[in-house]
Amino acid sequence: MSDLKVLKLVRKPKGETPERVDAPKDKKSQPAPTRSGPQSLSQPIVKPAPEIPTRSPLKDKTIQAAPSPRPVPVSNSAAAAQPGRAAEPQPRQRPAPEVVGGDDPGLSPKEMLGMYRMMYLSRRLDDKEIQLKNQNKIFFQISGAGHEAILVAAGMALKPGYDWFYPYYRDRALCLQLGMTPLEQLLAAVGSESDPNSHGRQMPSHWGSKKLNIVSQSSPTGTQLLQAVGCAEAGYRFKLIKELKKRASNFQKDEVTYVSLGDGTSSEGEFWESLNTACNLKLPVLFLLEDNGYAISVPVEVQTPGGDVSRLIENFPNLYLQRCDGTDALESYGVMQRAAAYCRAGNGPAFVHAKVIRPYSHSLSDDERLYRPVEERTADAERDPVKRFGAVLIEEGVVTEDELQRIKDEIDREVNEATDQALASPQPSPETVKLHVFSPDVDPTSREFDTEEGAELSGNPGTMVDLINRCLHTEMGRNPRVIVFGEDIADCSREEFLDQVKGKGGVFKVTANLQRKFGSARVFNSPLAEANIVGRATGMATRGLKPVVEIQFFDYIWPAMHQIRNELAVLRWRSGGEWKAPVVMRVPVGGYLKGGAVYHSQSGVSTFTQIPGLRVIYPSNALDANGLLRTAIRCDDPVLFLEHKHLYRQAYNKSQYPPDDFMIPFGKARTVREGTDLSIITYGALVQRSLVAARQAEQQGINVEIVDLRSLQPYDWNAVEATVRKTNRVIVAHEDSLSWGYGAEIAARISNELFEYLDAPVRRVGALDTFVAYAPILEDAILPQVGDVVKAIEELRSY
DSSP 161-191: TTSEEE--TTTHHHHHHHT--HHHHHHHHHT
Give the containing element (helix H, strand E) for 530.
helix 530-542
Decide: 420 and 187 in contact? Cβ < 8 Å.
Answer: no
Neighbours of 694 (CB within 10 A): 23
Residues 6+ apart with CB under 8 A from 251: 234, 235, 238, 543
Decide: 670 and 715 in contact? Cβ < 8 Å.
Answer: no
Decide: 179 and 160 in contact? Cβ < 8 Å.
Answer: yes
DSSP 64: E
Query: What does the alpha-carbon distance between residue 151 and residue 128 come to, in Å, rounded to a whole number?
Result: 19
* H helices present in 172-308, as ranges: 172-178, 182-190, 223-240, 269-280, 300-303
Reported residue count of the chain is 799
Marked catalytic residue, from 600, 644, 646, 734: 600
Task: For residue 435, give the amino acid letter.
Answer: L
Is the peptide bond prior to 69 cis by the omega test (within 30 degrees of 0)? Answer: no
Backbone angles phi and psi of 415, in degrees to 5? -65, -40
Decide: 119 and 387 in contact? Cβ < 8 Å.
Answer: no
Give the containing element (helix H, strand E) for 32.
none
Query: What does the alpha-carbon distance between residue 631 and residue 616 come to, in Å, rounded to a whole number?
Result: 12
Decide: 516 and 491 in contact? Cβ < 8 Å.
Answer: yes
CB hemisphere CA count around 618 (13 angstroms) = 29
What's residue 38's pLDDT? 34
Using 50 as the pLDDT threshold, list the residues of the chain that sit under it: 1-105
Q: Between 269-280 and 223-240, two packed helices, what is the crossing angle to 10 degrees?
A: 20
Query: What does the alpha-carbon distance between residue 486 and residue 475 come to, in Å, rounded to a whole number?
Result: 18
CB hemisphere CA count around 353 (13 angstroms) = 24
Decide: 217 and 169 in contact? Cβ < 8 Å.
Answer: yes
Query: What does the alpha-carbon distance between residue 240 and residue 54 come to, in Å, rounded to a whole number?
Result: 31
Query: What does the alpha-carbon distance between residue 156 and residue 105 come to, in Å, rounded to a whole number?
Result: 11
Q: Are strands 704-708 and 670-673 parallel, antiparallel or unpaired?
A: antiparallel
Tell me if residue 734 is catalytic: no
What's residue 2's pLDDT? 41
CA nearest to 233, candidates 571, 536, 584, 528: 536
